[in-house]
């Protein structure tokens, strides 16, 4: 039966609870919504997005939130915060699905199931064949980033390990080169890979361009899933060589057939009809969820990767309420999590034509994906034979990964609780504990960097990390560096908080001070931090220094306070000290990696070849031609540099020192 809208009450007769807690403009906007498919967005009073949803009928869906009292449920908690509504009408449910998940990825709403993954997938790259030099011989390499149409890419693979394993396979079976062009162009004899039969040495002419091209074509067909056809063709060519009494060539192909046969036996590739398949298994437990994605590419299982969404409990309650009201049947939490993963994940990653799933997928979602990609996408819920084996593996891994996550989170929450109790922070909600930690790193005063890392919601918040390049101080003055970074970090926030205090209201957009500010150092660094906080008018009790113990031994650290409290030794087995050490070590790691990157950039940029005394345009051109660029020169030894025409041994040493 076609869907019919129930009569919507006028604005003033909406639920008394809603009308008493929401702006009149919001209720008016709800009453005037059209009965069209679209996407709606809820905002709180500070302009933060709370929830993004789709609707077959905007009028019916959105009004359902405001027509009854949801009480103290998660839905009621979210609805009580709604201050503003935005909607976008679209032509179909498929368009609404795609727009909804684009907005979820960009707006990061608090009450949606959200998958966060900043990592791009790796590929196996095979360069296009050219007409001369190294371009005649395609190179196999690991690749991550934006693809170029002229080259060939195979994947994506779930991990770097999977790509490297595939590259080793290309070397073992087809003996394709992996060396970069500068190395290839300057070889005079075969490398070790040729000696161990992992490369055919095209760099020195041990294989013709035609024969190498045949190996490349066979490798591409193998990666595309035509393994059996490649095997048959290799056997035919081997027999042809044997009939012509060309036994050396026949022996080479025999070895290749043997290697390929071993690979096929090890990987149990017996279902070549499934060339590209994604297997998706979802597990929900303890308020957390895991989606385990396993990839089959070219008929071979390439490994898997777990994903852990946030806001599962909040979004699940919301999803059950609204979906039930519109579609007439509730979808389980597992179904909602899997729908959210598929919709968000395949916005940026190509979707294979077949999905094997542990729970049913919304047909409208599959239709939207098919419309978006132009490929008919199907999902199998109850697979058989090989697909069933793959799904069982994925389900087992999802359960193991979720159990590991829950164990880690339980341990981390215990550490958070121990720290809050040890320092008497007096927090009602430990999930809101926010710790910021600072560290200074440099090499003999060079490239001084300060780091700020953030711990919140029982884990390190990598997206909120910040690095600060320190300027205009005496090289090596860690106290001045700490003063500068604290001023830069908190001066604007302190000013905004003071203005808000004078006005008596807190305008939207103002951040909050952390509950704890850790500095990696003892009395000296704490004294500097105290001076900064006194200057800014901030609470001194926030500052805690992590002072190394006797002999700088791990586990003997003491906490130093800026407000005059006595030092505290938590004990080497203390859960609180473990958390402090974890945050401190992360700040140190983040600072030192930033310092090394800055130092390397200074040395590479400041050590340009033309800036080195004795290097003119001709010598520079010879160096770049020989090594393929500045990076190639930097990777070369002084002895290698001295082999270039016009470069003496002394000048080679000078170039090496300048670039290192």
Give the Cα separation of 315 and 336 in Å (integer): 9
Q: What is the pLDDT of residues 287-299, one digit of tens each?
A: 788 999 988 877 7
C-beta contacts of 570-578 below 8 A and 24+ residues apart: 570/422, 574/418, 574/422, 575/414, 575/415, 575/418, 575/419, 576/415, 576/418, 576/419, 576/421, 576/422, 576/423, 578/415
pLDDT category at 72 given cuts 50, 70, 90 is low
Backbone phi, psi, residue 484, to 5°: -65, -45
- Domains in the chain with CATH codes: 11-107 (3.40.1440.10), 276-403 (3.30.420), 431-602 (3.30.420.340), 607-659 (1.10.150.20)
CA distance 660 to 654: 10
pLDDT given at position 599: 58
Dihedral pair phi/psi, residue 105, rounded to 5°: -65, -35
pLDDT at 323 over 60: no
Q: Which range among 305-309, 508-512, 612-616 shows the weakest confidence by mean pLDDT?
A: 508-512
CB 93, CB 61: distance < 8 Å: no
The pLDDT assigned to 487 comes to: 93
Name which of 321-325, 557-561, 629-633 the model is least confident about: 321-325
Q: What pLDDT was estimated at residue 357?
A: 93
Nearest CA to 352 out of 418, 432, 423, 274 is that of 274
Alpha helical stretches, state H, 304-384: 312-327, 333-345, 363-373
Over the stretch 460-508, which tens digit does the pLDDT of each residue have?
A: 898 899 999 888 888 788 899 999 999 999 998 888 888 877 776 665 5
Sequence-ordered list of residues with C-beta below 8 angstroms from that of 490, at least 6 positions apart, any chain: 513, 532, 533, 536, 538
Q: What is the DSSP string of 42-60?
A: EE-TTS-EEEEEEESSHHH
Helix boundaries (H) for 281-430 = 312-327, 333-345, 363-373, 385-422
- Find out whether 106 and 39 touch, Cβ atoms under 8 Å: no
Contact 637, 647 (CB under 8 A): no
**pLDDT exceeds 50 at position 602:** no
Phi, psi of 434 (to 5 degrees): -120, 125
Query: In this predicted model, what pLDDT tens digit does every residue of 128-143 receive, in sequence order?
Result: 887 777 788 999 888 8
| Residue 267 CA from chain centroid, whole number | 29
Alpha carbons 92 and 507: distance in angstroms, whole number: 39
Nearest to 331 by CA among 378, 370, 363: 363
Q: Using CA atoms, how far apart are residues 394 and 355, in angstroms rounded to an integer?
A: 13
Structure tokens at 544: 């805690």
SS3 content of the chain, % helix, strand, coil (to 5): 50, 15, 35
Interatomic CA distance for residues 595 and 439, integer angstroms: 11
Task: Return all residues near 376 (Cβ < 8 A) that are at least 6 apart.
Answer: 353, 370
**Tokens at 491, concatenated:** 């001066």
Neighbours of 579 (CB within 10 A): 25
Q: Which of 58-62, 69-73, 234-238, 580-584 has the lowest mean pLDDT?
A: 69-73
Long-range contacts of 622-625 (CB under 8 A, 24+ apart): 622/646, 622/647, 623/647, 623/655
Q: Is 442 helix (H, G, I), strand (E, B) or coil?
A: strand
As a whole number of angstroms, the distance between CA 476 and CA 418 comes to 36
Token look-up 């010598």 returns: 619
pLDDT for residue 31 is more than 60: yes
Task: Answer for the pair 439, 591: CB distance below 8 angstroms, yes or no.
Answer: yes
* In contact, 355 and 342? CB cutoff 8 Å: yes
Of the candidates 100, 148, 152, 107, the residue with the CA atom closest to the CA atom of residue 126: 152
pLDDT in tens, 365-408: 888 888 887 888 889 998 888 888 889 989 998 988 888 888 88
Is residue 365 within 8 A of residue 347, CB to CB? The reply is no
Three-class SS of residue 222?
A: helix
- Signed CA dihedral, 58, 59, 61, 65: sign only: positive
- Give whole-number Cα distances, 468 to 116, 488, 590, in Å: 26, 9, 11
Task: Please report how the helices 478-503 and 523-536 are oriented relative to each other, as an axis angle in degrees rounded to 10.
Answer: 30
Specify which residues 125 forms β-bridges with.
141, 153
Q: Are 358 and 281 in contact (CB under 8 A)?
A: yes
Average pLDDT over residues 573-586: 87
Residue pair 478/507 in contact by the 8 Å Cβ criterion: no
Tell me: pLDDT of 458 over 70: yes
DSSP, collapsed to helix, strand or coil, labels residue 67 as coil
- Residue 18 pLDDT exceeds 80: no
C-alpha R_g of the chain: 31
């Amino acid at each position: 039966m076609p869907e019919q809208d129930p009569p919507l009450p006028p604005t003033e007769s909406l639920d008394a609870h809603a009308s008493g807690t929401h702006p009149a403009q919001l209720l008016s906007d709800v009453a005037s919504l059209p009965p069209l498919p679209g996407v709606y967005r809820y905002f709180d009073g500070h302009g933060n997005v709370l929830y993004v949803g789709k609707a077959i009928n905007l009028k019916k869906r959105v009004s359902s939130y405001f027509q009854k009292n949801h009480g103290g449920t998660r839905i009621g908690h979210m609805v009580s915060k709604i201050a503003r509504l935005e909607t976008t009408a679209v032509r179909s449910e498929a368009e609404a699905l795609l727009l909804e998940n684009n907005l979820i990825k960009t707006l990061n709403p608090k009450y949606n199931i959200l998958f966060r993954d900043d990592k791009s997938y790796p590929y196996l790259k095979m360069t296009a064949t050219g007409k001369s030099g190294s371009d005649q011989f395609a190179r196999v390499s690991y690749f991550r980033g934006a693809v170029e149409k002229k080259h060939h890419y195979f994947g994506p693979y779930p991990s770097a390990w999977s790509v490297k394993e595939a590259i080793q396979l290309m070397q073992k079976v087809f003996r394709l080169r992996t060396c970069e062009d500068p190395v290839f162009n300057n070889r005079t004899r075969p490398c070790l890979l040729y000696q161990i039969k992992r490369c055919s040495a095209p760099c020195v002419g041990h294989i013709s361009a035609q024969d190498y091209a045949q190996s490349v074509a066979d490798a591409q067909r193998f990666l595309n899933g035509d393994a059996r056809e490649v095997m048959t063709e290799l056997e035919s060519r081997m027999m042809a060589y044997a009939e012509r009494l060309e036994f050396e060539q026949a022996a080479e192909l025999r070895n290749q057939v043997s290697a390929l046969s071993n690979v096929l036996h090890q990987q149990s590739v017996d279902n070549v009809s499934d060339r590209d398949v994604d297997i998706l298994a979802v597990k929900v437990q303890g308020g957390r969820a895991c989606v385990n994605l396993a990839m089959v590419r070219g008929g071979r299982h390439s490994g898997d990767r777990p994903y852990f969404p946030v806001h599962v409990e909040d979004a699940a309650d919301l999803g059950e309420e609204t979906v039930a009201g519109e579609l007439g049947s509730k979808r389980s939490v597992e179904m909602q999590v899997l729908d959210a993963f598929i919709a968000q994940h395949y916005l940026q990653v190509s979707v294979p034509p077949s999905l094997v799933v542990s729970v049913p997928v919304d047909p409208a979602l599959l239709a939207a994906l098919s419309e978006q990609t132009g490929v008919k996408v199907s999902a199998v819920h109850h697979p058989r034979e090989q697909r069933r084996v793959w799904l069982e593996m994925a389900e087992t891994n999802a359960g193991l990964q979720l159990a590991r996550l829950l164990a880690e989170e339980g341990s981390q929450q215990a550490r958070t609780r121990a720290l809050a109790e040890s320092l008497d922070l007096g927090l009602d909600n430990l999930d809101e504990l926010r710790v910021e930690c600072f560290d200074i790193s440099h090499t003999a005063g060079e490239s001084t960097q300060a780091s700020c890392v953030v711990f919140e919601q029982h884990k390190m918040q990598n997206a909120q990390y910040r690095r600060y390049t320190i300027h205009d101080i005496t090289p090596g003055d860690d106290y001045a560096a700490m003063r500068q970074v604290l001023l830069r970090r908190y001066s604007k926030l302190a000013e905004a908080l003071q203005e808000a205090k004078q006005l008596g209201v807190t305008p939207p957009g103002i951040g909050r001070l952390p509950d704890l500010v850790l500095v990696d150092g003892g009395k000296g660094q704490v004294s500097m931090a105290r001076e900064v906080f006194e200057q800014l008018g901030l609470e001194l009790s926030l500052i805690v220094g992590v002072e190394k113990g006797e002999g700088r031994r791990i586990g003997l650290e003491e906490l130093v306070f800026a407000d005059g409290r006595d030092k505290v030794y938590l004990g080497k087995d203390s859960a609180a000290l473990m958390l402090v050490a974890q945050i401190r070590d992360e700040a140190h790691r983040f600072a030192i990696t930033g310092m090394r990157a800055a130092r390397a950039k200074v040395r590479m940029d400041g050590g340009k070849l033309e800036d080195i005394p004795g290097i003119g345009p001709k010598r520079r051109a010879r160096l770049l031609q020989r090594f393929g660029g500045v990076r190639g020169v930097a990777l070369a030894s002084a002895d290698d540099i001295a082999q270039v025409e016009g470069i003496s041994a002394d000048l080679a040493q000078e170039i090496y020192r300048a670039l290192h």
